[in-house]
Structure 1
Amino acid sequence: KNGEPHFLWTSFDIYSRFLASYWLNILLMVITKLLFPEPRPHFIQTCNPDPLKLTCSSAKSSYQLYKDGICRLNQSNDGSYFTQRDVLDSLRSFPSGHAQNGAFTMFIALHFVNRNNGLTSIQKIIFSLFWICNGLLMAISRITDNRHHWWDVLAGSIMGGLYSYFAIKYFLYQ
């Protein structure tokens, strides 16, 4: 019973450090998405560019299509409606935020599972497989639902892995 307050305080401290590093991970992802706007696989369908306004100079980048007002908002060939927010979101494919957060959480969880001495070897394997499958399924689902290109998912996963390494090494146990 004498160790309970210390255990609770240590748990709260590690949890708050994890949350802070997780939000830093998200902040870095948002900054990267804003600095490197890359179209999602469905950008042309969402933008629905006006062919009469389309020129070779306006087609240099997807962002230029949006900026020059060539995207036709609120009308689509298949009857669906897209807003300005939808078009802007379709320019934020790189890196995959879901893959980045999935990899970040997966590696942090794997670290905690392997560090826990109260678990048996079988329990560690089961928990590790759960987090690995969770991270992989999250990344693969981004490609299969046509929200990201494979390189966006790969870059997001690498960035999430790197951020988790730095969070574990420099932030969680200081």
Structure 2
Amino acid sequence: MHDIFSRPKFPNAADKANGPDKEKGVSVLKRLSQRRHLAWLATLPSWNQLFGDAWRDLLTMTLVGVVGLVFHFDNVVIGGNDLSFMIWNERNEFVAYEVGKPRLDNIIHIWLSALLAILVPSVFFVLAQIRVRSVYDLYVAFWMNLRAIVVGSLFQVMNKSLIGGLRPHFLAVCEPNPSVGPGDGAGYHGLYFTWEICQGAKRSWIKDAVKSWPSGHTTVAFAGFTTLSLYLNGKLKIFSDERAMVWKLFLFFAPLLGACLIGGAMILDHSHHWYDVFGGAVIGICSAFTGYRANYASIWDYRFNHIPLQRAKVRWNHRGDAAPSGHFVYSTAPESRFPDFAHGHEMKWAAGGAPGDAAEWNDVQRRPGQQGRWRRPTEAAAPSYTSPTVVPSSEVSHIPDSHDTLQATPV
């Protein structure tokens, strides 16, 4: 089976000796395949192959995106129409501190949050190809991130419109009717009101101020940056069966820190409450996890979580198999699927690297200065001790004091 991360080989001496005449009539992709650092580009799909793999996803994401944009730009409000809030208590004292903050400009606009969530992971996906060198891996990673963002955005915009909540600056844009006071509303002592008492000049601001939950900025940020963290873990094997180097841990948490800062900015500019940000983070993280697992062989299993999955019955066969089934086989055979750059000590990990169920790390016969190797479970290990001699029970009785000097090993 063709290795996903196999390294291209140098052309042999005979091919070099033939010179340019040998390459006459050879396609550009064929020539690329003969270049050590550019050979992975030879696996670029044709437009027919690419469209055959992506058109269903493009259609689905377009429809989902249109629905989300309609709800967002039309400022659809359903749940917010029925929200009740209390401004004063029965003694006419102001109590709505959580929704009485001033309205401020966004520190980070929604378009910037979405751009960062798409652009920053994409840059790292491209940089990873310096060593991964897989067109298919780059393709899967990009669309995986975009799908996670689109799915998370749909969830948050539907919740905003159908459920909603009062933003921290609600009263600042509402400007309640000054003639209304305790006892003029509904509920206990007539203390609860709806947004019908608002007299603010900008109705669009009022409608937006009742769509606080969840935070769209935070959803998009956590969807994109969590996807990036999972991708880095899969490629660098940060959480695996060996101690991780500190720089890898910082690299894993850096995208999550960026997402947290974006969510925190929404609290600072009085756009959201803390629970709005928390809800958006949960939606974004769930979108990222489901998106990653739908496109890669595993999330946390270090043996497989770097391998992009292939679809069944598609025209783009990126692995070069004669008859691809489209289904990944979770084999415990120690095939070299891990890129060397993932390990500081170049341990040459195998696909089945879990102790006890796949392959064992065998360094019994290792020479000085030489790395160990993975061996198959069926491969005999070098004996490190002398097997005991089993004495038949018929002979034990003829040995004097055998019960004191010799014990037969049961068979």
Both proteins in one fold, TM over 0.5: yes
| CA distance 1:159–1:3, change in 2 (3 Å) | same
Which residue, 196, 207, 214 being the options, matches 1:95?
A: 214
Change (3 A) 1:84 1:15: same
- 1: CA distance, partners of 2:277 / 2:169: 15
Please tell me whether residue 3 in structure 1 is matched to residue 40 in structure 2.
yes
The alpha-carbon deviation at position 56 of structure 1 amounts to: 0.8
1:115-130 pair list within 5 angstroms: 115-117=234-236, 121-130=245-254
The answer (yes or no) to whether the contact 2:169–2:209 under 8 Å persists in 1 is yes
Q: Which residue of 2 aligns with 1:110?
A: 229
Identify the structure with bigger relative contact order (alpha carbons < 8 Å, sequence gap 6+). 1
Look up the SS of the partner of 2:225 in the other structure. helix
What's the CA shift string for 1:89-141, capped at 9, x where partnerless? 11111011122222222221110111124999455234223212202211211
1:33 and 1:95 in contact (8 A); partners too? yes
State the distance in 2 between where 1:113 and 1:10 align.
13
Larger Rg: 2
Is contact 2:236-2:248 (8 Å) kept? no
1:56 aligns with 2:185: yes
Tell me which amino acid in the other structure corresponds to 1:21. A
Matched, 1:131 2:255: yes
1:33 is matched with which residue: 152, 160, 172?
160
Q: For 1:148, what is the secondary structure of its paired residue?
A: coil
Q: Secondary structure at the match of 1:51?
A: coil
Q: 1:150 to 1:34 in 2, by over 3 A?
A: same
| Unmatched tracts of structure 2, length 5 or more | 1-32, 34-38, 44-133, 239-243, 297-307, 310-411
CA contact under 8 A between 2:145 and 2:224: conserved in structure 1?
no
- Note the aligned Cα RMSD (angstroms): 2.6
Determine which of 152, 167, 170 is the counterpart of 2:291.
167
Gaps of 5+ in 1: 75-82
More helix by share: 1
Q: 1:10 to 1:132 in 2, by over 3 A?
A: closer
Q: Match for 2:274: what amino acid?
A: W
Q: Tell me, yes or no, if the aligned pair for 1:40 and 1:90 is still in contact at 8 Å.
A: yes
From the superposition, tell whether residues 48 and 3 of structure 1 become closer, same or farther in structure 2 (CA, over 3 Å). same
- Distance in 2 between the 1:165 and 1:17 partners? 10
Letter of the structure 1 residue corresponding to residue 288 of structure 2: S
Matched-pair contact (CA < 8 Å) for 2:147–2:291: no
Rounded Cα–Cα distance in structure 2 between residues aligned with 1:89 and 1:117: 42
TM-score of the superposed pair, with normalisation by structure 2: 0.36
Aligned to 2:124: none
